């Protein structure tokens, strides 16, 4: 018995010790090498086993950051124990030879701040064979580029320019999938996204004089609405890559290594210039571009009480949707109705082109000749950096038939007389009264008494019945909406429910169902479904903040779980949460 008791005690001590070790939090820094040549690259990984916030990297003194931080997360379950790993990765290149020390990085996990240990690095002379040519990080850094081509980084206020985001890659890399992790926002700009349609690979692209495969990822036309330095937020893509390695299969072909690569276009600064104040016209309304201006009448001769139309039209190239047209100036004797505004504007990579117009309907009341004075339209031409003013022609309207202004009819000229009352004017008034005694009448024996007595009771009873009927109808309508929302959620989540036993397929189907639901409900493109965009769109539709956050949380769980094994408990929980969130959003929308 003593031996059994000792054995059990040791067993529990070992189990408790192992759990304690597993529960310990670690945050370490690792480098690809501690000695490298001046022309080589250094990889630094900051790895933790618990999720943390407020990551602070070291200053990297003596090195230049080539890329990073690239964030990766891994989660797995082994024998019922969860293993978590989160890594921040940097790629550095040395600036000069010597001995350097990578300082401490810091991260906040829970309420504690953890720091890494300093690492010594020695940089020597340049080597003949820099970096490992078979290293996937080195290969992707050398053969993948994401750039933002900006046609004009220093425009005037309201002057249009274009940003084209392009992805360049070349052999030996092949890309199987691209996901947009972070979408740029254009808060200080009037923006228009040009539809690309199906993404195509141009095999004859060129970047800095070298041949690349080229993919145009996004095109956007921008018109700045503020002056000063405006920021374009970064575009970040996650790439699924295939890169050949040194191993070969039975047929001698090189085998492929699958990997993930996060690549980003950093923030871009646009320096917006203000329009010059010198020689600015008084009637300038903000038009910037190159324009033509005209005033057109559909007829210049008509009868009184007939109508004609006057069209004020501006056509050309510029910010056609962003300024007001001048007002028409006509004599007061013409009745003018509010204008009908119409736009015929096409937006391409060269900006807005087309025409805008205001059409006035005018009705003359009297005959005569009515001049329509010249109208001026001013705009700023960014090509010449000058203001220009265009004037319309003087026009004349001939009303050849109808009354003359100020004329009176024959009846109007006749003096009006006061009517004298006749002797029998007030004869209809009854002057003799006929009085009857009411003492012999009993009020409670009359029909009117009982009718007036029961009318309030009938009204109250009818009101109660109507209120109860309306309440029941409202409850039935609410229940019907609830059932419809649940039916819609099951429709979108049916494919995910069939894949409960396959985590990867389940979360792919779940994420696709969430995206398809929002795409159908909010009428947006799939490429716009970043987590920030989802939350902002739901807030604009007056969806509860908590419901929007729950939806984004489910999407994040899908992205995380597709690359790490999970349990059936979490799958069931995510499915139920997705179903309830879709139903809640559908009810509120």
The beta strands (E) that lie in 195-350 are given as 201-207, 210-224, 228-232, 235-248, 254-265, 268-272, 289-297, 301-302, 308-318, 334-336, 340-348
Which one, of 513, 512, 555, lies nearest residue 533 by Cα? 555
* Percentage helix, strand, coil for the chain under 3-state DSSP, each rounded to 5: 25, 40, 35
Provide the 8-state DSSP code for 281.
-
pLDDT of 588 higher than 60: yes
User: What token pair was written down for 306?
Assistant: 């007939």
Which is more confident, 406 or 560?
Answer: 560
pLDDT of residue 49: 83
pLDDT of residue 111: 82
Cα(589)–Cα(587) distance, integer angstroms: 6
pLDDT of residue 476: 66
| End-to-end C-alpha distance for the chain, whole angstroms | 69
- CA distances, 81 to each of 18, 22, 52, 84, 436 (Å): 11, 9, 20, 10, 104
- The CA-based diameter of the chain, rounded to the nearest angstrom, is 138
pLDDT of residue 414: 37
Confidence of residue 19 (pLDDT cuts 50, 70, 90): very low
Phi and psi, residue 257, nearest 5°: -105, 125
Q: pLDDT exceeding 90 applies to what percent of the chain?
A: 26
Give residue-wise pLDDT tens across range 453-491: 888 888 988 888 898 888 877 666 656 655 665 566 566
pLDDT of 417 higher than 60: no
- Which residues neighbour 423 within 8 Å (Cβ) at sequence distance 6 or greater? none
User: What token pair was written down for 542?
Assistant: 């007056």
Cα angle value 206/209/212 (rounded, 5°): 30
pTM: 0.50
Phi and psi, residue 205, nearest 5°: -75, 165
Residues 579, 490: contact at Cβ < 8 Å?
yes
Burial (CB count <10 Å: 0-12, 13-18, 19+), residue 9? exposed
How many other C-beta atoms lie within 10 A of the C-beta of residue 483? Answer: 11
Across 147-172, average pLDDT:
93
> What b/e sequence results for 492-503 when a residue is b if at least 16 CB atoms lie within 10 Å of its CB, and e otherwise?
bbebbeebeeeb
- Comparing 70-74, 233-237, 387-391, 572-576, the range with the smallest average pLDDT is 70-74
Which one, of 166, 161, 216, lies nearest residue 192 by Cα? 161
Give residue-wise pLDDT tens across range 76-122: 766 667 777 888 888 888 888 888 888 888 988 888 888 898 999 88
pLDDT of 147 higher than 90: yes
Cα(203)–Cα(142) distance, integer angstroms: 18
Which is more confident, 162 or 429?
Answer: 162
How does strand 376-381 pair with strand 386-391?
antiparallel
Which sign does the torsion angle of CA 438, 441, 446, 451 carry? positive
Residues 98, 123: contact at Cβ < 8 Å?
yes
- Comparing 216-220, 277-281, 585-589, the range with the smallest average pLDDT is 585-589
Which is more confident, 437 or 53?
Answer: 53
pLDDT of residue 581: 82
- Which residues neighbour 219 within 8 Å (Cβ) at sequence distance 6 or greater? 162, 163, 164, 165, 193, 194, 196, 349
Give residue-wise pLDDT tens across range 297-321: 999 899 888 899 999 999 999 999 9
pLDDT of residue 517: 77
Residues 157, 275: contact at Cβ < 8 Å?
yes
Unique residue bearing structure tokens 């939090």: 25
pLDDT of 13 higher than 60: no
- Tell me what the pLDDT averaged over the chain comes to: 80
Which one, of 165, 171, 244, lies nearest residue 210 by Cα? 171
Asked whether the bond before 69 is cis by omega within 30 degrees of 0, the reply is: yes
- Comparing 4-18, 60-74, 191-205, 527-541, the range with the smallest average pLDDT is 4-18
User: What token pair was written down for 63?
Assistant: 């090195």
pLDDT of residue 435: 67
Confidence of residue 452 (pLDDT cuts 50, 70, 90): confident
Segment holding 56, helix H or strand E: strand 53-56
Unique residue bearing structure tokens 């200080």: 188
pLDDT of 344 higher than 80: yes
pLDDT of residue 79: 67
pLDDT of residue 385: 94
Across 292-296, average pLDDT:
94
pLDDT of 408 higher than 70: no
Which sign does the torsion angle of CA 7, 13, 15, 18 carry? negative
Task: Select, from the ranges 186-200, 204-218, 280-294, the one with the highest average predicted confidence (pLDDT).
Answer: 280-294
pLDDT of residue 440: 54
- Which residues neighbour 365 within 8 Å (Cβ) at sequence distance 6 or greater? 304, 305, 333, 334, 335, 402, 403, 405
Which is more confident, 387 or 243?
Answer: 387
Give residue-wise pLDDT tens across range 222-242: 999 999 999 998 888 888 888
pLDDT of residue 519: 73
The partner residues of 342 in beta bridges, in order of sequence, read: 357
pLDDT of residue 127: 67
Across 140-144, average pLDDT:
80
The beta strands (E) that lie in 373-452 are given as 376-381, 386-391, 395-399
Across 341-354, average pLDDT:
94
Give residue-wise pLDDT tens across range 543-568: 888 887 888 888 887 877 766 655 55
How many other C-beta atoms lie within 10 A of the C-beta of residue 174? Answer: 13
Across 341-353, average pLDDT:
94
Burial (CB count <10 Å: 0-12, 13-18, 19+), residue 233? middle
pLDDT of 263 higher than 50: yes
Cα(317)–Cα(223) distance, integer angstroms: 13
Q: Give the three-state DSSP class for 534.
A: helix
Strand order in the sheet with 112-115: 53-56, 106-109, 112-115
Q: Give the three-state DSSP class for 296.
A: strand
User: What token pair was written down for 482?
Assistant: 């609830």
pLDDT of residue 348: 92
């Amino acid at each position: 018995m003593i031996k059994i008791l000792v054995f059990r005690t040791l067993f529990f001590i070992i189990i408790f010790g192992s759990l304690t070790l597993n529960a310990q939090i670690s945050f370490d820094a690792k480098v690809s090498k501690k000695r490298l040549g001046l022309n080589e690259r250094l990889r630094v990984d900051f790895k933790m086993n618990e999720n943390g916030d407020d990551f602070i990297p070291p200053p990297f003194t003596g090195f230049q950051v080539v890329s990073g931080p690239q964030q990766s997360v891994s989660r797995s379950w082994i024998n019922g124990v969860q293993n978590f790993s989160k890594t921040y990765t940097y790629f550095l290149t040395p600036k000069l030879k010597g001995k350097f020390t990578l300082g401490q990085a810091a991260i906040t996990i829970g309420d504690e701040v953890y720091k890494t240990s300093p690492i010594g690095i020695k940089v020597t002379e340049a080597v003949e064979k820099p970096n490992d040519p078979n290293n996937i990080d080195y290969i992707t850094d050398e053969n993948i580029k994401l750039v933002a081509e900006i046609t004009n980084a220093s425009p005037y206020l309201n002057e249009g320019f274009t940003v084209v985001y392009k992805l360049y890659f070349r052999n030996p890399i092949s890309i199987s999938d691209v996901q947009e992790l972070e979408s740029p926002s254009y808060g200080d700009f009037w923006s228009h996204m040009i539809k690309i349609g199906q993404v195509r690979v141009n095999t004859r692209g060129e970047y800095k004089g070298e041949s690349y495969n080229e993919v145009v990822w996004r095109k956007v036309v921008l018109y700045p609405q503020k002056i000063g330095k405006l920021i374009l937020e970064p575009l970040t893509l996650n790439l699924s890559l295939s890169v050949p390695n040194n191993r070969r299969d039975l047929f001698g072909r090189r085998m492929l290594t699958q990997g993930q690569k996060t690549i980003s276009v950093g923030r871009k600064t646009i320096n917006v210039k203000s329009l010059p104040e010198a020689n600015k016209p008084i009637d300038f309304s903000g038009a910037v571009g190159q324009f033509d201006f005209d005033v057109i009448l559909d007829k210049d001769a008509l009868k009184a009480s007939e109508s004609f139309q006057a069209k004020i039209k501006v056509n050309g190239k510029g910010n056609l949707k962003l300024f007001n047209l001048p007002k028409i100036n006509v004599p007061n004797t013409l009745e003018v109705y509010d204008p009908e505004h119409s736009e015929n504007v096409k937006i391409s990579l060269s900006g807005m082109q087309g025409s805008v117009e205001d059409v006035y309907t005018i009705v003359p009341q009297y005959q005569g000749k009515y001049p329509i004075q010249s109208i001026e339209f001013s705009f700023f031409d960014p090509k010449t950096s000058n203001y220009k003013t265009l004037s319309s022609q003087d026009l004349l309207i001939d009303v050849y038939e109808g009354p003359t202004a100020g004329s009176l009819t024959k009846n109007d000229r006749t003096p009006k007389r006061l009517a004298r009352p006749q002797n029998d004017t007030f004869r209809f008034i009854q002057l003799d009264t006929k009085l009857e005694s009411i003492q012999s009448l009993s009020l409670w024996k009359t029909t009117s008494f009982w009718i007036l007595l029961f009318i309030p009771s009938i009204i109250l009873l009818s009101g109660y019945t109507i209120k109860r009927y309306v309440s029941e109808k409202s409850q039935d309508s609410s229940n019907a909406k609830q059932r419809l929302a649940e039916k819609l959620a099951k429709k979108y989540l049916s494919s995910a429910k069939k894949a409960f036993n396959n985590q990867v397929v389940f979360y792919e189907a779940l994420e696709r169902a969430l995206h398809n639901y929002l795409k159908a409900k909010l009428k947006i493109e799939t490429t716009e479904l970043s987590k920030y965009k989802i939350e902002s769109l739901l807030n604009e539709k007056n969806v509860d903040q908590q419901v929007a956050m729950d939806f984004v949380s489910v999407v994040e769980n899908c992205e995380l779980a597709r690359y790490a094994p999970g349990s059936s408990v979490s799958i069931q929980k995510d499915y139920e949460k997705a179903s309830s969130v879709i139903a809640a959003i559908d009810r509120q929308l």
